[in-house]
Structures are given as structure tokens and as C-alpha cells.
Structure 1
């Protein structure tokens, strides 16, 4: 069976790889000139199953108002003329209750934990290299209220069997000595020892090469226009003005999945959350992070590569705007100097932005559609790399008619019609 995978970000590339390992003939189609050149290019560098949590949480609407009043706000909200923006926000607000939060977090952790195991297996089998580190994640709290509020997340972690540690200041420094100059700004932390780090772009590029060795074909610089459909099946996809055909199709187009699927009557609540990152050359090893540090107050992650620090954060709910404004770079500079001052050459940093494809409940959409030969693997939000291998292997099992290794509850589109 020949399968077209639309999209060559980390999700599309992992999907192609696992489908090829199942014996399928696979072709990846993308408008870019190579893999991982959009959202996967310069993300925060985390593989963080323990940190998998929906943005839709109790109290978030009030917090959002407070965030937007801050000088260095983690949230950027700009009205647009697109009604899907307001519908997505309303759907997110409806999920901001304890019951929905618990359901959504369990689904996200279930997929993320499975995906981490898949990445570990992939690394063991192939030796894939991406400046990876397996040293965990530390979520830093500046206020006692934040530390006290972590109990609801810990409960889910315990139910899923995910190890964790609650750290005091001395405990934090035992893992991240580079915080010694700013440790008094923090009251404690949650450490997730099974989380990992690395360069997602390097990972995706390397996996694309492995996929090619497994027989996957990549068609780059190809504009994907629309689907042709009839009698409950996709007849083909228009690419560069020509109709291309396969036996089955997977939409892994990230934030652009919504526009691709809407004309054929499939409504997916995936909206672009704009994020920013800095890639900073290390200036002083003793003042740099060892793994990933998350500043809960500013919603910013600082991740260690070999000789660089990747700093990612903020969320812009303002459509497909990819502009880079100095004030947002200034925010990242400010936060960096509150966490690892002197650790990196900020004046040499590379500033970047990307669009994270987010669902209102935080869980990706992975599975079948009402068209018998059309599948979706999209909507991973800020956890695209974290969930990529798991959602790809999960989907490959489904498409091969096999039972996935984790529960299928809550992953496909049917959860929105329940």
C-alpha cells in the first residue's frame, strides 16, 4: 500500500519512518526545501512527558488576564478577523475545569510516556544523534503558591507511574549548579528525571535520512493545494497543480492542517500558538544549564545542547503572524538574566519564531477520519517532539490493522462529537 504523508516536520517525518518500518510504501510531500524547517526547526528542545499538561487548566482564564498585564507577559493575545480564533479560545475556556483537566492531562501523559519509550528504543536501535541528554527537567517555582499547586499534577504522575522529585533550593543546585547566583529567587521545584533534551531539527534531519534508507521518498518544494474526494474516499491530492494519487493519506501539516481539511468537511480545532526562541552560544559552562529548566512564572524553558542554550517560550494567540518583534526578544533576554545570568552570549543569539499547532484540550488528534483512507496526526501543541515517535508508531499500528500498545481512548476526532 502506498501512503502519502503530508508534512515533513518532526511529526510527519516520524510518521513516515514508522510506516516504512511496517512495510508500507511511503512518500512525504512538503512545501519546504527540506525536513523540519518550520515549527520543528528551533523549538525549546524538550522531550518532556512528565511536563505534559494542557494549557486549559482551572484558573487559567484569570491568570491569562494577569499575564497580559505584565510587562514581560508569557501570553500575547491579539484579536483578528478570523472567527476560528474566538471559537478555539471558547473551547479552551470550556476545558478549564478540574474534570476536563484531569482527563486531558492523562491522555497527554499517556501518549508522551509511550513516545519517550519509543524514542529511547529508536536511539538504541539506530544510534541516532541529536545532541541529546537524558538528565531530566526541573520546573522552577518563584512563589509558594505555585509549589503548593503542583499537587494536582503530581497525582496524575503517580497514577501513570511517572517518577518525580520535589526539590528545595539545595536540591535544585545539586542538579543545576549554574543556578547558584539566582537560587534565592526560587522557593522550590518539581524534577522529572525521565525527561530528555536535544535539538529537534538535528533529530528530524537524521531520522529523515534513516527513513530514506528504509525506502521513504521525499518530495520537497511541492505546494499541497487540496484533496479530491468522492464516495467517502480521498481520490487524490492536488500538488503543484497536478493530481497525485496514493492508497492512503496522512495529514501532518501542523497548524495548516485545519485549512487543508475544512474544504472536505472535516473540522479540526487546531490553532497556531506562536512561540519564540533564542539559540545562545554558551559563554561560561559553570553558569549554564545542564539539562532543561522551566521557569513557571514566565513560562519559559532553557535547554542545554552541547555548546548552546535553547530558550523557548511565550504563546501568541494571533493567527499566522510570523513577525519577529524586538520587545519579545527583550522579554527572553530579561528572563535569561533572571535565571542564568552570564551563562551565554546573548548578543550573539539567534531569534526565531514558529507556530505550534494546538488543540483546545491539549491532546493531539491522531487516528482515522470519516474518509476510509484519510488519517490525521496533528495538533501536538508545544509537545510535538515529545509526542512525535509515540503518535507516529501508534498511527502506524492503526493503519496496519494492529492493536496499538497503549489505549486508544481520546485520541481521534470522535472526542469532539461526544
Structure 2
């Protein structure tokens, strides 16, 4: 049986890998010249079950309104985007209740923990090298009340498998000595030992190579133009290089998934949210943090990736534009320097790499995994800021669904009808 996967990001490539291991004939269509060259290319780099809370949470609509027009806002909605996203926005607001937030967070945690296990299995099977670090993640706080709330959330999630340890200021500095410069501003932190770090692009490229060894065919530089229907399902995918037929199809096109499926009359509530990262050589800062640091108040992540440091911490609703905003990039850099003054040594305009990609965000903050209204068409998209965290597990789950087998985890909350 032949399956065509649309998209060679981490989710699509992982899906292809597990389909091939199940014995399917698999082809992957990707418009870029290689795997993981869009949203999977320059993401934050952390595989973190500790950050599974959706953006749709109590109080968020008011915050977004207050942040309108502010270039340094953590989540900036451009005025021009508002008319195009009102339906999605209403669903987002509906998900900002305490009950929905709790349900969606637990669903994300379930998938994230499964995905971490699956990633470790793939690592053992393939030996892919991707700047892996397994020393955990430290989240720091400057506000005692925010720290208290963070600990309460971690304790709640620990009942469903999250592992954490409270860290006083001294412990934060012990784990990350570079915090010594600003320890007087800290209230404490939370350490998450199971979180990992890795370069998503390197991993996905390596996994695509393993897929090819398993017989998967990749059609790079090939644009999806549409899907053709017939007999109650999809018969072929029309591409810039002609039509390709298959028995089943998986759409894993991230933020572009709704644009392809709307032509079939299938509405998918995914909206693009731009994120930026700044990647710099790390050699100029020998005392740099050995593990990722997530700053709760300033909302940035500082992540060691091999001999590089990567900074993330921006969300901007501006359609499909992927141009890094200089003002927003500088705001993130300034936030990092306010905590780690020596980071300034690494930021050289000649070597710093500024990147932006669009995260595929659903109103619930949970991904869409499973069958579409058409029997042989499946969706694997909508992972928001958790694509790297959930990618491998999502691929394994969707491959099981395509095969008609029960998934390894409870998939309640991930169906298209749940969104």
C-alpha cells in the first residue's frame, strides 16, 4: 500500500519514518530543496514537556489587547491580521476558560511525554547526531508570585508524569553559574530533568536520510497545488511536477495545511504565528550556561546548541510573513543581556543569524492528528510552539492511525472535530 506524505518538516518526516517501518511504500512531497527548511529549521531547540501549556489560557485575551501595537510584546497581534482571523480568534477565546485550558494542557503533556520516549527510541535505532544535550532545563523567575504559580502548575502536571524539582536562588546559580551576575533579581526557579536539547534541522535531515535507506522517496523542490477527489476519498496529489497517486495521504504542511485542505471544502483551524530566533557562535562566552534557561518574566529561552547559543522568545501574528523583525529581535537580545550581561560578547552582526518561521497554532493549542472527513486523508499539523517537542510522537501516532492500528496513547482531544 502506498502513502504520500505532504511536508518534510519534523512531523512529516517522522510520519514517513514510521510508515516505512510498518512496510508501507512511502513518498514525501516537499517544496523546499531539503527536509526541515521551514518551521523546523531554526526553532528554539528544546524538547520540553515542561512548556506544554497552550497560549489559550485564562486572562490571555486581555493581555493580547494590552499588547496591541507594542513591538516588545511577548505576543503581538498586528492590526492588519485581525480581520482575517476573527473566526479563529473567537475559538481561541472560547478555549481560554480554566476547564478548557486544563484539558488541553493535559492532552499536550500526554503527547509530549510519549514523543520524548519515541525520540529516544529513534535515537537508539538510528544513531543520528544533532547536538543533543540531556541535562534538563532550568526555568527562572524574578517574581515570587509567578514562581509560586509555576510550582503549583508543575505539581499539578506531575500527577500526569511531569518530573520537576524546585530550585532556590542558590541552586539556580549552582546549575547555571552565569546567573551569578543577576542573582539578586531572582526569586528562584524550577528544574525539569527530562527536558532535552537538540537541533531540529540536523535531526530531521538525518531522519530523512534514514527514511531514504528504508525506501522512502522524497520529491524535493516540488510544490503541492491541490488534491483530487474521487470515490469518497482522495485519489492523487497535484504538484508542480505532475500528479502522484496513492492509497492514502497525510497532510503535514504546518501552517500551510488549511490552504491545501480548504480546496477540498475541509476547514482546518490553524493560523500562522511568527516566531524569531537568533543564533550566535558561543566561543566568546566560555562561562555560558551549560543547560537551557527559560526566563518566565522576560519570556525568552537561551539554549546551548553545540558550539552555538540560540535565543527565542517572540510570537507575532502577521499572516505568512517570515521576515525577522529587527525591533523584535533586538528586544529579545536586550532581555537576554539584562539577565546574562556577558551574552553581549556573542552578538556580532557579522556572525549572528536571525531567522523567523510561522508556527501552526490551533485555537485550543493542541495539534490535529488523525483522519479527515475523507476516509483516506489524514492530518498531522497544528503543533504551535511544540512541533519539535511533539514531532516524533505525532509521527508514530499518525502512522498507527494510517495502518488502522490503535495508537500507543489516548488521542482524545486531537481529532479535527475536537477543534
Q: TM-score, normalised by structure 2?
A: 0.95
Task: Provide the aligned length of Structure 1 versus Structure 2.
Answer: 416
Q: 1:196, CA displacement in angstroms?
A: 0.1
What CA RMSD, in Å, does the superposition of the two structures yield over aligned residues? 1.6
Number of the residue aligned with 1:410: 413
Deviates more, 1:247-256 or 1:392-401: 392-401
Aligned to 1:225: 225
Q: Deviations over 1:146-186 (max 9, x none)?
A: 11222452244222122111211111112111211122222
Residue deviations 1:21-67 (CA, integer Å, cap 9, x gap): 11111100011000011111111001001221100111112233444
The answer as to 2:396 corresponding to 1:384 is: no
- Could you list the per-position Cα deviations for residues 368-410 of structure 1 after superposition, in whole angstroms to 9, with x for gaps in the alignment? 1111110000000011011011010011111112221111211
Provide the rounded CA distance (Å) in 1 between the counterparts of 2:325 and 2:404.
48
Matched-pair contact (CA < 8 Å) for 2:64–2:77: no
Cα drift, residue 412 of structure 1: 1.1
Unaligned runs of 5+ in 2: none
User: Within 5 Å, which residues of 2 pair with 1:268-417?
Assistant: 268-343=268-343, 344-347=345-348, 348-416=351-419
Q: Structure 1 residues 139, 346: closer, same or farther in 2, change over 3 A? A: same
Kindly state the Cα deviation for residue 77 of structure 1 after the two structures are TM-superposed.
Answer: 1.3
Give distance in 2, aligned partners of 1:73 and 1:81: 16
Q: What secondary structure does 1:183 align onto? A: helix
- Whether the 8 Å contact between 1:283 and 1:342 is mirrored in structure 2 is no
1:101 corresponds to: 101
**Distance between the aligned counterparts of 2:323 and 2:369, measured in 1?**
30
Offset, 1:125: 2.1
Q: Deviations over 1:226-269 (max 9, x none)?
A: 11112320011111162211111000000000111111111111
Q: With the length of structure 1 as denominator, give the TM-score of the two structures.
A: 0.96
Question: Which residues in structure 2 correspond to 1:239-258 (within 5 Å)?
Answer: 239-240=239-240, 242-258=242-258
Does the 8 Å contact 2:69/2:76 carry over to 1? no
Displacement of 1:97 after TM fit?
Answer: 1.3
Query: How many Å separate the matches in 2 of 1:120 and 1:84?
Result: 40
Gaps of 5+ in 1: none
Alpha-carbon shift at residue 84 of structure 1 (Å) = 4.3
Query: What is the CA distance between 1:144 and its match in structure 2?
Result: 1.6
Give the equivalent residue in structure 1 for 2:173: 173
1:38 aligns with 2:38: yes
Q: Distance in 2 between matches of 1:122 and 1:381?
A: 23
The separation in 1 between residues aligned to 2:405 and 2:179, in whole angstroms, is 47
Query: Is the 8 Å Cα contact of residues 252 and 379 (structure 2) preserved in structure 1?
Result: yes
Question: What's 2:191 paired with?
Answer: 191
1:17-32 correspondence runs (5 A): 17-32=17-32
Contact 1:167-1:190 within 8 A present in 2 as well:
yes
What is the CA distance between 1:80 and its match in structure 2?
A: 2.7
1:63 and 1:148 map into 2 onto residues whose CA distance is 20
- Tell me the distance in 2 between the aligned counterparts of 1:56 and 1:264: 28
CA contact (8 A) 1:9 1:204 kept: yes
Inter-partner Cα distance in structure 1 for 2:151 and 2:340: 27
